[in-house]
Structure 1
Amino acid sequence: MDVSVIIVNYNTCNLVKKCVASIFEKTKNVSFEVIVVDNNSKDGSVEAIIDEFPRVRVFPLKENIGFGKANNIGVKHAKGRFVFFLNSDTFLLNDAISILVNYLDTHESVVLCGGQLFDRERKPTGSYIEYPDLRFFLSLVLRGSVFYKDLPIFPEGEIPYYISGADMMMRKSFIEKYGAFDPDFFMYYEDTELSYRVQSLGFGVHFVPRAHIVHLHDMSPKERGPIISTLDLYVIQSRYLYLKKVMGDVVMKSLLLLHKIKAFIAIGYFVIRRNNEKIENWKKIKKILFSISG
């Protein structure tokens, strides 16, 4: 078998059905299987997928173990030469899977590749992202935001960035030797770490813009609401885990200390300003910061 498509689902019944349907509709020129690992959804996802797509192999879990670990479970059951990690909130616009398979078949030194992502309006969106450096993390801690510069538009081939975890195709032979997603990450930054690890080992990470995929994950902060969410807290937690793994303990602990000091100052400031919403946000941030071990 050429490729195993692995989709992790968590309460995205309608989205994952659209994703799976697009795979069967668009994929023509390679042999493939679809594996859905369900993180204990409560919206009837498992039953709906089994009912509508009998060819899909569904693995329901008893708890939500996170994105990376769930993908790794899918890998254990994968039969393909290649593994295609695909988000449940994506759908294919063309025969993207065949394009990526053929690319890996003709570029033996490439371990990981991804296609061109589009938003819901069919505008190109973040298919590859610049690796976060020390300046990036300092800006997040001190300013609370970061300036994302426009990245150059790369032609087909190797890129110095990391491939979005929304669509990542990898050689299974690499995974069997070096592993897939780092299980320490519950959610976020696991794709960053994986691309970094692949490149650190001397293998290529490539962008294949002929493969077209829509990624619907484009909610703005306004749409998410002013109150910090559980997802935001996962971002903070994974950010420091990535720092520790890539930049080392000293850098991670130094930034973590700065962030803790800022949290105390922010809470005091907003107490004076009587901004209960901001106080609540910063209390949540402080709690997650103090839960992070050095």
Structure 2
Amino acid sequence: MTDQAGMTDPTADPPPTADPTADAASAQNSPPAQSGTPVATVVIVNWNGAHLLPACLDGIAKQETSFAFETWVVDNASSDGSRELLAERYPWVRVVASERNLGFAGGNNLALRQVTTPYAVLVNNDAIPEPTWLAALLAPFDEPGGRHLGATTGKVVFLPRFLRIRLHTSTFVPGPQDSRELGVRVSSVTVDGREALREVLWEKLTYGAEGPAKNPYFWTRGDGELCVPIPDGGPVTLGFTWAAESRKQVILSWDGPTGAADGGRAELAVGPESATVSLTVGGEAPRVDVINNVGGIVLADGYGADRGYQQVDTGQFDQSEDVFTACGNGMAMRSSLGHELGWFDDAFFLYYEDTDLSWRIRARGYTIRYVPGAVLRHIHSASSVEWSPLFVFHTDRNRLLMLTKDATATLALSAVLRYPVTTASIAVRTMRQAWRARSRPAVRPTLLRLRVCGSYLRLLPTMLRARRQIGATAAERRGSLQSWLVSR
């Protein structure tokens, strides 16, 4: 369930990207070399992504295939010159124009409902395909057993390469209302002077983003690993702006070159006042690829997740295998099946629409195959900021909508009934904390969850009708499908 490119969060910083003009001249008159009847239609949803499209489309133009394919860009009412850029530099791309932002689900559907090629292929505008991506993604449909395949999904890795850093420091527990063991509070990370806080991969070290969406910070654990995006070759200077509950030391360490017994190590000070420290990492430090998605999973409590998320790519996912869900960024699907299913659910707008569609593909008795050779490089959170109000609203609501449509009644009811109970618990805890601190309560998280409840209830009759239709056409029972769900 990766970032979806049909909607951009207005709080997001501009993502790192190559110069949009770098390959424009060579790309504008260089459509993919192909002949014959198109086998696939590649669909890209765009909203104010003029800074992202050149790298994506130049990657499409370089695809090495033995078959012809079409490339369509759905423009979700962009106001940044995206359509002008497409007309000027990429005349071989068909533009499907929308007069309003339909999100990732509705934007894709605007094109998908017009597709006549045997296969439809989806890619985000903030992703760059390797030259063999499309050929690898479609190959399994022609292999033995391919007639049972409903969709394929590839390997998505983060665009930059990373320095893998281990952190160690002493911890403290804030108090009875917060039992976390906290290390240091990081509010900025720079790479050669450029802010990179949003691009750092924190999954194995922190408790997630906190604070306002425009100025987030992260509390670390006492031990863990972070991956910092750094350029290839040459030394790099890293800066950390941080604070802690008291004066103490933080040890950072990283691997040395391949075959070396030791890597680098730095012991840095931190204290109650926010301060910036810096260190230089030699050019010989290894850069690694980090996985964004290698197919999707659904946890036993109904939450969707990216398989392999933020794992360093060491070849552990280099074997093709069946997975429960496909990622909307880099999936191929039989068009005939997509038309039968109605493609994505327009009501989802963005997030969980690919998980919902995958669940319905499997309910029809088809399988979904992970293809490790179909590689995309993806800009992390270029299109939406994780844990922003936009992100939280759609992930919370759409998870409940998906379970209402696709899961067993037991799982769906459990998740739906738990949500308002948790909302009430959060509200009570917030009021108690504010009363003790004699401060104004932070009501926005509770209000956001109430918005989720209201939107869910408004859409509930539609989802129940969809549930009955899915059940009437299913080739595999809901209980059987839930054998794929993974325990936490």
TM-score, length-scaled by structure 1: 0.85
Equivalent residue, structure 2, for 1:246? 406
Cα deviation per residue 1:196-239 (whole Å; 9 max; x = unaligned)?
111121111001101111121357xxx9598x422321212212
Q: Does 1:124 align with 2:291?
A: yes
CA distance in 1, matches of 2:442, 2:77: 32
Select which of 155, 164, 171 maps to 2:334. Answer: 171
Pairs within 5 Å for 1:1-294: 1-106=38-143, 107-120=146-159, 121=161, 122-134=289-301, 136=303, 153=317, 155-159=319-323, 161-218=324-381, 224=385, 228-247=388-407, 248=409, 250-272=413-435, 273=437, 278-293=442-457, 294=460
Q: Shift of the alpha carbon at 1:100?
A: 1.7
Name the CA shift for 1:256/1:212 in 2 (closer, same or farther; >3 Å).
same
Q: Alpha-carbon deviations, 1:83-110, whole Å to 9, x = none? A: 0011111111222111222221222211
Counterparts of 1:246 and 1:27 in 2: how far apart (Å)? 38
Aligned equivalents of 2:455, 2:360: Cα separation in 1:
26
Give the aligned CA root-mean-square deviation in angstroms: 2.6
The 1:269–1:240 alpha-carbon spacing in structure 2 relative to 1, beyond 3 Å, is: farther
Distance 2:386 2:371 in 1: 35
Q: State the AA in 2 paired with 1:82.
A: Y
Larger radius of gyration: 2
Q: Deviations over 1:234-284 (max 9, x none)?
A: 212212111211234633431232233124224413432466684333333
* Residues 244, 251 of structure 1: 8 Å contact kept: no
Partner amino acid, structure 1, of 2:94: R
Q: Name the CA shift for 1:252/1:43 in 2 (closer, same or farther; >3 Å).
A: same
**Cα distance between partner residues in 2 of 1:136 and 1:56:** 36
Identity of aligned residues (%): 23
Q: Unaligned 5+ residue runs, structure 2? A: 1-37, 162-288, 461-488
State the alpha-carbon separation in 1 of the partners of residues 79 and 310 from structure 2.
39
Cα separation, 1, equivalents of 2:333 and 2:440: 47
**Counterparts of 1:2 and 1:214 in 2: how far apart (Å)?**
24
Distance in 2 (CA, whole Å) between partners of 1:280 and 1:35 is 39
Structure with the higher strand share, 1 or 2: 2
In structure 2, relative to structure 1, the CA distance for the partners of 1:27 and 1:43 (3 Å cut) is farther
Supply the AA of the counterpart residue of 1:239: R
Q: Secondary structure at the match of 1:209?
A: strand
Q: Which has more helix, going by share of residues?
A: 1
Query: Which amino acid in structure 2 is aligned with residue 176 of structure 1?
Result: H
CA contact 1:13–1:43 (8 Å) conserved in 2:
yes
Q: Partners of 1:30 and 1:135 in 2: how far apart? A: 39
Q: State the aligned residue count.
A: 278
For residues 83 and 393 of structure 2, the distance between their equivalents in structure 1, rounded to whole angstroms, comes to: 27
Change (3 A) 1:56 1:269: farther
For residues 19 and 149 of structure 1, do their structure 2 counterparts lie closer, same or farther at Cα, with a shift above 3 Å needed? closer
